[in-house]
């Protein structure tokens, strides 16, 4: 069954949630420390505030990732992820974004199965840990069997635009059983090409950095990452144009 591609925006605060809702995104992936680490788990308080700010205009899907670095987790770290999944769903999240790999470079079936169970019916997105695999498309069958809702992937490339062939292969392998969401260095001008390979969603951060010197001990000179309304709107309009194109 064909689905109309939708927009997801990665945000880091309540203001970003409002921007995503205003431009018509269907989901906001909520995380913190996006630029510095690739994203970490937001607090329960932030998730609850984001859900309230969304006012049912879009879904909030927090990232569950307790640390930066790779995606092979020990039992203690997996336990933290399980606790976070339960707490974030209880706080009102419509879904969670997770990922776990084995030391040999495959999907960690046991960890992901436990995370899906902990989500208790909320949607589960497997994040770009999949792009660290030698063949991201090889993970599709495992993710389908585990009951994952969707996979966020650049097709193994630094930018999704350079992973179009793998993205198409993943869409074909999923055959409607798993949503394939293109994400990774996406710019508004990339959206049409991504839609053309059949993805179910397009994901981008629409991120800008504002000057916000924290002073001594406060991240001096690091700046503040925000969701840029102009970039978010451009992506939404590009998606609408691509979908409307015959």
Reported as a pLDDT band with limits 50, 70 and 90, residue 191 is very high
Q: Does the pLDDT at position 122 exceed 70?
A: yes
List the chain domain ranges.
6-128+183-244
Reported as a pLDDT band with limits 50, 70 and 90, residue 213 is low
Helix (H, G, I), strand (E, B) or coil at 153: strand
The β-bridge partners of 224 are: 210
CB atoms within 10 A of CB 157: 18
Q: What is the mean pLDDT of residues 35-58?
A: 97
Residue 98: name the closest of 60, 124, 130 by CA: 124
| pLDDT (0 to 100) of residue 217 | 59
The β-bridge partners of 150 are: 125, 179
Distance, first Cα to last Cα, the chain? 18
Side-by-side strand order, sheet with 59-62: 59-62, 27-30, 6-11, 201-204, 179-183, 150-153, 123-126, 95-98
| pLDDT (0 to 100) of residue 2 | 55
Query: For the chain, what is the mean pLDDT?
Result: 95
120 CB burial (10 A radius; 0-12, 13-18, 19+):
exposed
The β-bridge partners of 27 are: 8, 59
Rounded to two decimals, what is the model's pTM? 0.95
- Express each pLDDT in 83-110 by its tens digit: 999 999 999 999 999 999 999 999 999 9
- Express each pLDDT in 137-189 by its tens digit: 999 999 999 999 999 999 999 999 999 999 999 999 999 999 999 999 999 99
Looking at CATH, the fold of the domain delimited by 6-128+183-244 is given as TIM Barrel (3.20.20)
């Amino acid at each position: 069954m064909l689905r109309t591609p939708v927009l997801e925006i990665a945000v880091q605060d309540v203001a970003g949630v409002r921007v995503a809702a205003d431009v018509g995104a269907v989901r906001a992936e909520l995380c913190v420390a996006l630029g510095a680490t690739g994203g970490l788990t937001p607090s329960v308080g932030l998730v609850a505030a984001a859900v309230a700010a969304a006012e049912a205009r879009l879904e909030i899907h927090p990232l569950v990732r307790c640390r930066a670095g790779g995606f092979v987790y020990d039992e203690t770290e997996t336990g933290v992820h399980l606790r976070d999944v339960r707490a974030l769903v209880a706080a009102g999240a419509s879904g969670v974004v997770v990922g776990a790999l084995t030391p040999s470079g495959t999907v960690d079936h046991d960890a992901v199965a436990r995370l899906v169970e902990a989500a208790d019916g909320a949607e589960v997105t497997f994040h770009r840990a999949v792009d660290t695999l030698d063949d991201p498309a090889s993970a599709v069958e495992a993710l389908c069997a585990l009951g994952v809702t969707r996979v966020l992937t650049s097709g193994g490339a630094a930018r999704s635009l350079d992973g179009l062939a793998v993205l198409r292969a993943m869409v074909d392998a999923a055959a409607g059983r798993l949503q394939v969401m293109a994400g990774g260095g996406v710019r508004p001008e990339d959206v049409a090409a991504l839609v053309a390979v059949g993805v179910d969603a397009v994901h981008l951060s629409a991120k800008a950095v504002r000057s916000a010197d924290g002073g001594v001990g406060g991240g001096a000179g690091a700046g503040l990452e925000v969701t840029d309304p102009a970039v978010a709107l451009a992506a939404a309009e590009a998606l609408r144009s691509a979908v409307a194109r015959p």
